[in-house]
Amino acid sequence: MVATVQSVSPEQILDVKKVFRLEAEWQEILRKAASGHPDSLLMAVIDSENLLDEILPRTYHMKDSTFFECISSLHVWCKFENFSELESAHLDVRNAIAHRRGSLPSQPSILNALRAFGAFLCKMRLIPDGSVEEPSTVAMISRVQYSRMSARAIWEEIIKKVASGHPDSLKLAVLDAESLVDNALFAKGMSGVDFCERMEDACGKSLLSGKGRLKKAHKLRNQFAHNRSSMPEQKAIEQALNAFEKALRELKVLQ
């Protein structure tokens, strides 16, 4: 589906930049990527797409369109030459970080994703040319091979993230925990197109209990995945991880 793009005046662009503090927000994302903390680099990619997803539909009047529909339509409209890099940034990098099936993207892929998101913001005149700087001191990403790790080993990695207390690590711990449960549901043949539907199927078959707690944990996961300003609270994170851990034990993934 290709959404209809409405032209935007320079004055409207200026208003959007002021309201959303775009240049400052982009610089904050770059600072996060260059902080030297591996989880911050991963969250910088998620934050970059969330920034675009928040701004583009409102600016170009495509509020009912998905993120991919927005960038596909704007690519055609503004003749963005590097659309394949932007598409890869969304499908291969951002989604891999958020949903964790298989290994994490490589460090070059992550940096390319940040450049693609920044270049698109420049093309849409939302940040000035020259704002797409590559982080100067980026930590090497530990490419955790999730597909080759035991559930126990993955869970231990999640607990380490929580123990670190780093805000980005706390967010990724919740994302990773739900992905671990979702992978288990998928492996056990639960029907549905997403986590919620597969979880509902498992609850209906009495494989899982505590549906309300899992829904609450999923809501927190979505806040971290889609809301850049959402800050982790220890109690909410503990409740979410307890719900996911209980689900993993009921599914016999953790003993």
Amino acid symbol at 118: G
Tell me, yes or no, whether 104 lies in a domain. yes
- Position 139 in a domain: no
Please give the pLDDT value at position 104: 73
Q: Are residues 22 and 102 in the same domain?
A: yes
Q: Are residues 179 and 112 in the same domain?
A: no
- The mean pLDDT of 124-134, rounded to a whole number, is 67
Structure token digits, residue 249: 């034990």
Confidence of residue 2 (pLDDT cuts 50, 70, 90): very low
* pLDDT > 70? residue 144: no
Report the C-alpha gap between 86 and 80 in whole angstroms: 10
Burial of 14 (C-beta count, 10 Å sphere; 0-12/13-18/19+): exposed
41 occurs within a structural domain: yes
SS3 103: strand
Cα 59 off chain centre by: 22
In a domain, 140, yes or no: no
d(CA 208, CA 211): 7
Residues 179 and 111 occupy one common structural domain = no
Cα 244 versus chain centre, distance: 19
The token duo for 51 is 């920034």
What CATH code is carried by the domain that includes residue 202? 1.20.120
Give domain status of residue 138, yes or no: no
Q: What is the pLDDT of residue 187?
A: 86
Find the range with the poorest average confidence among 13-27, 35-49, 112-126, 151-165: 13-27
Are residue 16 and residue 118 in the same domain, yes or no? yes
Average pLDDT over residues 177-186: 91
pLDDT, tens digit, 9 for 90 and up, residues 81-102: 778 888 888 888 888 888 776 5
How is residue 83 written in tokens? 């659309």
Q: For the chain, where are the alpha helices, taking DSSP H only? A: 10-20, 22-33, 38-59, 67-78, 83-88, 95-99, 107-123, 151-164, 167-187, 195-204, 211-226, 234-250
Q: Are residues 78 and 166 in the same domain?
A: no
Tell me: do 108 and 189 sit in the same domain. Answer: no
Last residue of a domain, one of 108, 123, 138: 123
Domain check: are 153 and 81 in the same one? no
The domain in which residue 239 lies consists of 149-250
End-to-end CA distance of the chain: 45
Tell me which of 167 and 103 has the higher pLDDT.
167
Structural domain contains residue 144: no
Residue 105 shares a structural domain with residue 153: no
Q: Which residue has the tokens 């903390």?
A: 37
Global pTM value:
0.71
181 and 100 in one domain? no
- For the chain, how many structural domains are there in total? 2
Residue at 166 is within a domain: yes
Do 111 and 189 fall into the same domain? no
Return the residue matching tokens 């902080």. Answer: 35
pLDDT category, 10, cuts 50, 70, 90? low
State the Cα–Cα distance between residues 178 and 164, nearest whole angstrom.
Answer: 19
| In a shared domain, residues 93 and 177 | no
Which range (46-55, 95-104, 184-193, 196-205) has the least confidence? 95-104
Same domain, 111 and 175: no
**Does 4 fall in a domain?**
no
